[in-house]
């Protein structure tokens, strides 16, 4: 049967054109409302140039899990799904159950009289009927006739078959079976659209509990009574309010491709935590936090070979009252050996032992020993040239001294062989390493991280440490090990470590990548590239739906994990916050131009 309808011109619906084109199927509204023709076949309908096919579910398993329909709702194909729920009078159901119970009980007794073994199927049926009778009698349950119909759309019969295979695969894996409405495609189509008509009449009897599992919109909720606003829950539009310091640890990892909104989300988080009195320390490889530091009155230290700011690798933390000075000194020596291993490009076991001894003697020459008074350490801290002098007087150290000289007398001495002249007394401190030579950047980040850790250990205070582009420091085994050690011990010092990186493959290339993720109770995953999505899915055990979210999400959207809960999230900021944290070049330029016009500087 085929007939034509007049074509009606309907304006296109607005929205994200790119997102629409990325969908597997793109159907205009006018193609459905007013197709040029409608052709009815036994197993599909042709609507103009489009095809539609309707199905009904005819068989369910004994148990249905909550949200079992969610994979169908989230599948990337256009479709209509309709529920038809018809309540049944409980009195009628109870009468039928009594009759059925009598039949089952009679059959069980008959088998017992004949000496046959117990039939588990009959016994289970008897128990189920009795349980349902009790629930109905006390009004805890009701019984309904339930019909579920699905109509899918495609631009070709071949694609229609592919969609049908996908539907069957997803549902049959859950022991749920569908059939097309053969010779009733028109009725199936009308039953799926929002007319409220049930023209198919294929029903399954369900009580309240299994029927409630059909509701597909199941999502986690991350709205706590305290904390900061992280964003909007895309599942149910609720607020994602959370305090990272309430979990077993306060560490966080953030993954996302360039331009996905990682830095924006982190800046927004630290800005809001600062309003609650939390101190923030940032290692910034691209100097993109400088504008925020200036806005909040923070300190920004630019680290390079020619910059006026220096950090001495030999600096020592001031031991707290509950710490043994011997352990503090020994731990610092071990970490310093790791730093020198990075600076020298590796050490043999013999060289490692020599370096350890030389560092100990360098401190001892300045009267810094486990027996000396820790209060006097700060005034006597050696520098790298003091270490060189000790190393020169030791046997078999010629090659080590030659390697060290470029850091003490060569072009690198301007940064590495100077006393520390930076202060971390400010509540917002940024160390910018953008201008440091690329080959020296991992070393510089290691030295900065050691200096920060020494400061954190000296006083107990609620802080957040942000390590942006963490893959730089994780290029070396010692750098990655030190970062992991901080993440592992951060909770004891009231510290939350935020580790940010673009490429999860680089991060997971280190043997410490997975342990750092494991020791981070919060994870924020933002827009990903197809090349890295499979690694990310395997690492975080993402569902296919979450995988598609990360591939197709807009800027500022992603998946937020907090402990065992996770939600799809959209990062939102107020106008004032946006002006302080934006990194979009066009917006930054506009803000600068506006300031120039107002005479507020460059």
Alpha-carbon torsion (60, 66, 68, 70), positive or negative = positive
From the candidate CATH numbers 1.10.8.730, 1.10.3720.10, 3.40.640.10, 3.20.20.70, the one assigned to the domain spanning 312-419: 1.10.8.730
pLDDT the model gives residue 584: 65
Closest CA to 216 of 24, 76, 82, 52: 82
**Average pLDDT of every residue of the chain:** 84
What does the pLDDT read at residue 220? 61
Instruction: Note the pLDDT of residue 147.
Output: 94
pLDDT in tens, 472-517: 888 888 888 889 999 999 998 999 999 998 878 778 888 888 899 9
> For the segment 258-280, what is each residue's pLDDT rounded down to a tens digit?
888 888 999 999 999 999 999 99
The CA-atom distances, in angstroms, between 497 and each of 188, 259, 261, 382, 448 are 55, 22, 19, 29, 15
Predicted pLDDT at 98 = 87
Indicate if the pLDDT at residue 447 is higher than 60: yes
Residue in the block written with tokens 């809960």: 565
Mean pLDDT of 424-450: 89
Place of tokens 């793109």: 26
85 forms beta bridges with 146
Which among 255, 302, 436 has a CA at the least distance from the CA of 293?
Answer: 302
Q: Would you say residue 369 has pLDDT above 70?
A: yes
Of residues 342 and 282, more confidence is placed in: 282
Report residue 375's pLDDT band, with 50, 70 and 90 as the boundaries. confident
pLDDT at 189: 93
Edge-to-edge, what's the strand order for the sheet holding 239-242?
A: 239-242, 228-233, 565-570, 557-562, 522-526, 252-255, 495-501, 463-467, 279-284, 428-432, 299-302
220 vs 356 pLDDT, higher one: 356
pLDDT higher than 90, residue 185: yes
Question: Could you state, in order of their start, the residue ranges of all structural domains in the chain?
Answer: 2-212, 232-299+429-572, 312-419
| Residue owning tokens 């640890």 | 249
Nearest to 53 by CA among 145, 166, 147: 166
pLDDT at 2 over 60: no
Structure tokens at 57: 């579910």
CA distance 444 to 305: 10
Residues 6+ apart with CB under 8 A from 331: none
Confidence of residue 30 (pLDDT cuts 50, 70, 90): low
- Which residues, at least 6 apart from 257, have a Cβ–Cβ distance to it below 8 Å? 502, 526, 527, 528, 529, 532
Least trusted range by pLDDT, from 360-369, 445-454, 578-587: 578-587
Class of domain 232-299+429-572: alpha beta
Pairwise CA distance, residues 565 & 219, whole Å = 9
**Range scoring the smallest mean pLDDT among 313-327, 405-419, 477-491, 577-591:** 577-591
Residue 546 belongs to what H/E stretch?
Answer: helix 544-552
Asked if 232-299+429-572 and 312-419 have one fold, the answer is no
């Amino acid at each position: 049967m085929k007939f034509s309808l007049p074509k009606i011109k309907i304006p296109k619906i607005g929205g994200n054109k790119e997102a629409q084109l990325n969908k597997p199927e793109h159907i205009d509204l006018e193609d459905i409302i007013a197709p040029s023709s409608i052709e009815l076949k036994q197993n599909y309908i042709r609507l103009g140039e489009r095809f539609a096919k309707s199905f009904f579910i005819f068989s369910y398993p004994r148990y249905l899990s909550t949200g079992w329909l969610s994979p169908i709702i989230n599948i990337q194909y256009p479709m209509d799904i309709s529920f038809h729920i018809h309540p049944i009078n409980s009195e009628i159901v109870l009468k039928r159950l009594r009759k059925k119970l009598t039949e089952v009980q009679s059959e069980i007794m008959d088998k017992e009289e004949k000496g046959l073994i117990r039939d588990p199927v009959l016994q289970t049926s008897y128990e189920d009927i009795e349980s349902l009778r009790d629930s109905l009698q006390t009004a805890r349950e009701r019984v309904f006739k339930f019909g579920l119909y699905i109509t899918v759309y495609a631009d070709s019969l071949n694609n229609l078959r592919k969609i049908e295979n996908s539907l069957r695969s997803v549902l049959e894996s859950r022991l749920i079976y569908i059939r097309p409405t053969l010779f009733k495609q028109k009725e199936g189509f009308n039953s799926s659209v929002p007319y409220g008509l049930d023209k198919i009449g294929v029903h399954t009897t369900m009580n309240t509990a299994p029927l409630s599992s059909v509701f597909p919109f199941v999502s986690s909720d991350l709205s706590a009574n305290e904390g900061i606003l992280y964003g909007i829950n895309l599942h149910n539009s609720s607020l994602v309010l959370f305090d990272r310091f309430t979990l077993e640890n306060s560490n966080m990892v953030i993954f996302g491709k360039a331009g996905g909104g990682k830095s924006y989300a982190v800046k927004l988080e630290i800005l809001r935590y600062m309003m609650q009195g939390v101190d923030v320390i940032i290692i910034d490889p691209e100097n993109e936090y400088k504008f925020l530091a200036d806005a909040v009155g923070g300190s920004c230290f630019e680290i390079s070979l020619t910059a006026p700011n220096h950090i001495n690798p030999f600096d020592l933390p001031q031991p707290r009252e509950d710490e043994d000075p011997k352990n503090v000194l020994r731990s610092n020596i071990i970490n310093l050996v790791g730093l020198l291993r990075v600076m020298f490009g590796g050490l043999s076991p013999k060289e490692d032992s020599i370096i350890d001894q030389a560092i100990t003697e360098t401190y001892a020459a300045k009267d810094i020993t486990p027996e000396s008074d820790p209060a006097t350490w700060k005034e006597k801290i050696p520098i790298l040239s003091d270490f060189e002098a000790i190393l020169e007087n030791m046997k078999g150290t010629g090659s080590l001294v030659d390697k060290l000289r470029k850091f003490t007398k060569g072009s690198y001495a301007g940064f590495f062989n100077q006393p520390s002249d930076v202060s971390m007394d400010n509540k917002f401190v940024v160390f910018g390493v953008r201008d440091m030579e690329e080959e020296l950047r991992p070393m510089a980040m290691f030295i900065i991280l050691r200096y920060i850790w020494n400061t954190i250990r000296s006083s107990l205070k609620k802080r957040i440490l942000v390590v942006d582009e963490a893959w730089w420091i994780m290029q070396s085994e010692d750098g990655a090990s030190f970062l992991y050690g901080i993440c592992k011990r951060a909770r004891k010092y009231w510290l939350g470590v935020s580790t940010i990186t673009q490429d999860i493959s680089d991060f997971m290339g280190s043997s410490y990548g997975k342990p750092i993720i494991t020791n981070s109770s919060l994870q924020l995953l933002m827009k990903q590239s197809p090349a890295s999505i499979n690694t990310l899915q395997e690492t975080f055990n993402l569902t296919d739906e979450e995988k598609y979210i990360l591939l197709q999400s807009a800027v500022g959207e992603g998946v937020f994990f907090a402990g065992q809960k996770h939600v799809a999230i959209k990062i939102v900021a107020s106008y004032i916050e946006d002006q302080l944290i934006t990194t979009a070049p066009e917006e930054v330029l506009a803000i600068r131009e506006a300031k120039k016009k107002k005479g507020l500087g460059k």
